[in-house]
Amino acid sequence: MSPVVEDKPLRVLFMCGLNSTRSQMAEGLARTFGGGRLVAGSAGLQATAVDPRAVAVAAEIGVDLSSQWSKVVDDEMLARADLVITLCDPARDSCPVLPPGVAKRHWPITSLDELSKPEVPEDVWRPAYRAVRDDLQARIHGLVQEHAHEEFQ
C-alpha cells in the first residue's frame, strides 16, 4: 500500500493546443476546488487569448479566470510539474519530452473550437461549455481524492 501524502500538494500542468479554453478552465477549477492539494498551471502548444465564454461559465460556479493568460509550454513549466495532463489529442501527441519524475496523463476533453465562433448562439454554446466545465470539475475532484489517499506516482 502506498503511503498517504501528508502536506505536499501535487503540481499539475494542464496542457492543450491553444491554452484558451479547456486548459484555462482546468487551471481555474483546480486552483479553486483543489482543497490545497493541487497547485495548478496551464499552457499550450501555442498561446492565444483566454476564451471569454470559458470565463463566463467558470464564473457561474465561482471560479475566476480573469487573472489568467494564455502561455506556451516551456521546459521550466515542465520541470516544476509533478503531473502533466493533456486535454486534447494535439497536446498529447506533441507534448515535449518530460523531465524524469514527471508523470503524464491524457484526459480527452471535448473540443469547443467550433462553438467559440461569434455567430454561435448562446443557447447552443453555453450548455456545451458547461458540460466541459462539469467534466473537468469531476475529473479534478477525482484527482484530488486520489492524491489525498495515496502517494501520486
Q: Which of 5, 56, 61, 95 is catalytic?
A: 95
Position 134 pLDDT exceeds 60: yes
For CA atoms 23, 25, 27, 29, the dihedral sign is negative
Q: Which of 25, 88, 91, 143 is catalytic?
A: 88
pLDDT of res. 1: 33
- Per the annotation, the verdict on 16 as an active-site residue is yes
Kindly list the domain boundaries of the chain, sorted by start residue: 10-146
What is the phi/psi pair of residue 52, to 5°? Answer: -65, -25
pLDDT of 77-116, one tens digit each?
A: 999 999 999 999 999 999 888 999 999 999 999 999 999 9
Q: Which of 13, 15, 16, 77 is catalytic?
A: 16
- Per the annotation, the verdict on 112 as an active-site residue is no
The predicted model gives 54-67 an average pLDDT of 97
Contacts of 122 (CB under 8 A, 6+ apart): none
pTM: 0.91
pLDDT of 15-60, one tens digit each?
A: 999 999 999 999 999 999 998 899 999 999 999 999 999 999 999 9
- Per the annotation, the verdict on 88 as an active-site residue is yes
For domain 10-146, the CATH class is: alpha beta
Give the model's confidence band at 4: pLDDT under 50 very low, under 70 low, under 90 confident, else very high: very low
Residues 107, 15, 96, CA angle at the centre, nearest 5°?
Answer: 105
Question: Which three cell numbers, joined as nine digits, stand for 110?
Answer: 471535448
- On whether the CB atoms of residues 43 and 152 are closer than 8 A, the answer is no
Give the model's confidence band at 6: pLDDT under 50 very low, under 70 low, under 90 confident, else very high: low
Position 2 pLDDT exceeds 50: no
